[in-house]
Structure 1
Amino acid sequence: MVSLIKVFSASTLLITSVVQAQLRVEVSGVGSTQIPVAIASFADEALTPQQITAIVKDDLTRSGYFKIIDTGSVITETTAVNFDDWKSRGAEALVVGSVQKLSDGRFDVRYKLLDTIKSSTLSGLAIATSSANTRVTAHKIADDIYEKLIGVRGVFSTRIAYVTKSGKEYRLEVADADGDGTQVALRSNEPIISPAWSPDGTKVAYVSFEAKKPVIYVQNLITRERTVIANYKGSNSAPAWSPDGNKLAIALSRDGLTQVYTVNANGTGLQRLTQTSGIDTEPQFSADGQSIYLLSDRSGGPQIYRMGVTGGEAKRVTFNGSYNITPRISPDGKTLAYISRRDGKFQLYSLDIASGQEQRLSDTVKDESPSFSPNGKYIMYATESGRRGTLAVVSVDGRVKQKLTLQAGDVREPTWGPFMK
């Protein structure tokens, strides 16, 4: 259990620096059903820095739930469509659109999603975007297609954060969900751990050791301002946000063995929640903010428990296996993800809270740091490949798998950002 209380360091802020190395994404597996979608090239999309249709196709393909049919032609949102022709090609939906350059230098991107079965329009968007936001616009279109055809909000326009190591340098990086658009939030000659997004997506909490001891900070990604949240004697670790963003659950060893506390988002109002003779750590708020999941060795080995948000009796949640750590709850509160050690392998598991049904989701053997996508359909986690740290994404049903790697260096400690308003 002592190894679970990780103590590392970090220093030197830099949020605007763009990183050249991007995550490379490999996809395997498909959803239980794939929807065939024809995607036409957007008219005049060569005007924009990146091609809209290519990004949309990549997003939908990566999700595992769509079979992309290349139309081989340009079709605008105003073009008359022969629905029977597209049905004969096996397409259940058709995506069309165009790009126009506006007088102020921005681009007017328009798209329509057509239902070829019902011969009707399912959705459409008109977005005025700058050159720098071309990719975001394409991700938003892919999100709209995903939501209209799957019935769940898409996450292509969300962001992720993770820690990379290259040589002796560690970096906390923020990127698009597809690994593009990377920026550096923090540089250090010491390891960085436990990044966690705020619910509004403007801040990240993390553990730093720049003061030669573990200290919890919250950093505003827009203003670069940092706030010390916990700088007590001993270990200050494992920050996790409440759903309303007003509090953080943290783990402190200020009074001896590590215990769970809550603290206001500005570092005030510290409150101790657990009072055990063992180690309690890795707290996570429930989706409704009324409970806290935590890791404890009170039963003799590391297991996951749940207690009220103000403390009190903690009830054990995991019973299969003798070593279950790093609880993460899904956005709807119905599924618990965690890492379990069995037969010497550390692998990602999920637990249906209501039924108690458990499922192993990964086939790798050194997994850590799971994080749900904000729509609850995917889980990102860290693992190893060829002795190098990589990120992986798996759908909650285990069918679709992605691997995200850097050409040089390790990548670990992922956290998936929220939906942005």
Structure 2
Amino acid sequence: MKKLTQWLSVFLTCFLVFSAPSANAQLRVDISGTGAKQYPIAIADFTGDSTGRLIAEVIRADLTRSGQFRLINATGAKLEVDTPIAYEEWRTRGADYVAYGTVTKESGDQYEVRYRLADTINDTNLDGVVFTGSDRELRRIAHQIADRIYEHITGIPGVFATRIAYVLKHGNTYELQIADSDGQNPQIALRSREPIISPAWSPDGSKLAYVSFETGKPVVYVHELSSSKRTPVANFKGNNSAPAWSPDGNTLAVVLTREGLSQIYLINAHDGSNLRRLTRSPLIDTEPVFSPDGQSIFFTSDRSGRPQIYQIPVSGGEARRVSFNGDYNISPRISPDGKSLLMVTRRGGAFRIASVDLETGTETLLTQGPDDQSPSFAPNGKQVLYASRQGGRHMLAGVSSDGRMRQTLSIHNGEIREPTWGPFNQNAQSPQTTNP
């Protein structure tokens, strides 16, 4: 019990011992491993405006990070968007697919980006769209094109145009930052002299819930990103922590100590009203997360003597234990399809990220440790974001959901903690579709 109490204290405050660079610092990407299957694809520099090469580079980097694509050299290819594709030539060069396009600068800072994807095996075009946007939106457009390529070839939605959130500490200042999925374009959502922990995206990506210590105690806030409006939704007696959104965005699960030990409660996500207690145990219940169908909550509890993962119906009732391997399992996260559970497990003194098949109980250790924390599924379930400490430094890292592909996103002179992957971008521009 003493050890779990110490662990809960660490969960609430230990993330606060790191430093970070300025908000404009970019993350460096190091990649190792490959997917079980790789699709050979050539990405030609987009012709027309000088930004075409940069758009192609973003697309190449996105597909490479997934581990599921093998890039075929397209140097020197002069492919206008309406250029007929020499399918046999590209097959000879080893490319099953060719992506290409044209960028045209229009009035002011506006651009038109026309893209196509060719299938050289079946001698056909798979996709063709037109995007428009300002020069500041070109990276986002490139990510959206990479998403379309990924989905047309694999049949699975891409996540390159999604966003991530994480916490940085710079000197005595804490920052909640939001960045593209590749770590680029970081923006500060909140800066504070007091700790910020436990960021959680709303299902539509328009808000973040988090815990701030700015009043001298942990309080749960809901932060509307477009307006920067902040609402304290859990400011009860004692500690208020660990917010988690319901799939419909109307309810938050939070952890409160208002009646003694940490227990899980449900509140209205908009104003904190309609408080109702969900768990009732003589020990600590914390780290709630909703199942994708919204019918149950997974959480961490020491009710068996050591921290393990449990599941309880949202309507209330008995909780059942779902983690059994190892004597220390915390931080549950559920895959978008509801079939897999992520957790932090301690094995041989190392903290590692594990994935558990909820139907069979089969466990896969995804990371090596020694100190990996805060796992978060990508919205397509194919990648996992987590915080890692290596060589005394905290960093952002990623691994494919099968453990084959690993990447490290690090800051040269700083540290990063508590990453969380945002949902699919529901406000993304809908491109004009052309005939393939």
What TM-score bracket applies, with the shorter chain setting the length?
A: over 0.9
Sequence identity percentage: 52
8 Å CA contact 1:34–1:64 kept in 2: the answer is yes
Match of 1:405 in 2: 410
Match of 1:239 among 243, 246, 251: 243
Letter in 2 for 1:395: S
Given the two structures, how large is their TM-score scaled by the length of structure 2? 0.92
User: Which structure 2 residues correspond to residues 6-405 of structure 1 after superposition, within 5 A?
Assistant: 6-8=11-13, 19-47=23-51, 51-72=54-75, 73-103=77-107, 105-266=109-270, 267-405=272-410
CA distance in 1, matches of 2:48, 2:186: 27
Q: Distance in 1 between matches of 2:79 and 2:88?
A: 16
For 1:299 and 1:273, the matched residues in 2 are separated by: 18
Secondary structure at the aligned position of 2:317 is classed as strand
Kept in 2: contact 1:45–1:51 (CA 8 A): no
SS in 2 for 1:281: strand
Letter in 2 for 1:64: G
In structure 2, do the counterparts of structure 1 residues 43 and 394 end up closer, same or farther at CA, with 3 Å as the change threshold? same
Which residue identity does 2:214 align to in structure 1?
Answer: E
CA distance in structure 1 between the partners assigned to 2:300 and 2:369 by the alignment: 22
Distance 1:269 1:176 in 2: 35
Q: Report the equivalent of 2:429.
A: none
CA 1:9–1:31: 2 relative to 1, 3 Å: closer
Letter in 2 for 1:62: R
Whole-angstrom CA distance in 2 between matches of 1:322 and 1:45: 58
Amino acid of the structure 1 residue aligned with 2:73: D
The alpha-carbon distance between structure 1 residues 55 and 45, as it changes in their structure 2 partners (threshold 3 A), is farther
CA contact (8 A) 2:195 2:214 kept: no
Q: What CA distance in whole angstroms lies between the structure 1 residues aligned with 2:424 and 2:400?
A: 18
Amino acid at match of 1:193: I
Structure 1: 5+ residue stretches without partners: 11-17
TM-score, normalised via structure 1 length: 0.96
User: What's the offset of the Cα at 1:255?
Assistant: 0.1
Do the aligned partners of 2:371 and 2:390 also contact (CA within 8 Å) in 1?
Answer: no
1:155/1:309 Cα in 2 relative to 1: closer, same or farther (>3 Å)? same
Q: How far apart in 1 are the matches of 2:196 and 2:105?
A: 43
Distance, in Å, in 2 between the alignment partners of 1:385 and 1:22 is 19
How big is each residue's C-alpha offset from its partner over 1:303-362, in whole Å with a ceiling of 9 and x where there is no partner? Answer: 000010122110100011011000000011000000001211110000001111000000
Distance between the aligned counterparts of 2:218 and 2:195, measured in 1? 11
Q: Which stretches of structure 1, 4 residues or longer, exceed 4 Å deviation after superposition? A: none
Tell me the CA shift for residue 104 of structure 1. Answer: 5.2
The answer (yes or no) to whether the contact 2:388–2:395 under 8 Å persists in 1 is: yes
Amino acid of the residue matched to residue 407 of structure 1?
H
* Cα offset, 1:214, TM superposition: 0.7
**Residue 340 of structure 1 aligns to a residue in which SS?**
strand
* Alpha-carbon shift at residue 215 of structure 1 (Å): 0.4
Task: Structure 2: give runs of 5+ residues left out of the alignment.
Answer: 16-21, 427-436
Residue 374 of structure 2 aligns to a residue whose secondary structure is: strand
Looking at structure 2, the residues matched to 8 and 91 of structure 1 have their Cα atoms a distance apart, in angstroms, of 51
Alignment partners' CA distance in 2, 1:198 and 1:22: 25
1:97 and 1:217 mapped to 2: Cα distance?
A: 44
User: Take 1:187 and 1:386, find their aligned partners in 2: how far apart are those partners?
Assistant: 27
Whole-angstrom distance in 2 between the partners of 1:277 and 1:417: 34
1:167 Cα offset (Å): 2.2
Q: Give secondary structure in 1 for the equivalent of 2:214.
A: coil
Name the amino acid aligned to 1:178.
Answer: D
**Which residue of the partner structure matches residue 13 of structure 1?**
none
CA separation in 1, counterparts of 2:59 and 2:418? 27
* Cα distance in 2 for residues equivalent to 1:129 and 1:392: 31
Secondary structure class of the residue paired with 1:46: coil
2:433 maps to what in 1? Answer: none
CA distance in 2, matches of 1:320, 1:64: 29
Contact 1:8-1:192 at 8 Å conserved across structures: no
Question: For the residues of structure 2 that align with 1:274 and 1:307, how far apart are their CA atoms?
Answer: 8
* 1:47 Cα offset (Å): 4.6
Q: Which amino acid aligns with 1:411?
A: I
* C-alpha distance in 2 between matches for 1:375 and 1:220: 24
Q: Is the 8 A contact 2:193 2:214 kept in 1?
A: no
Q: Deviations over 1:199-233 (max 9, x none)?
A: 11111010111111110001111100001111111
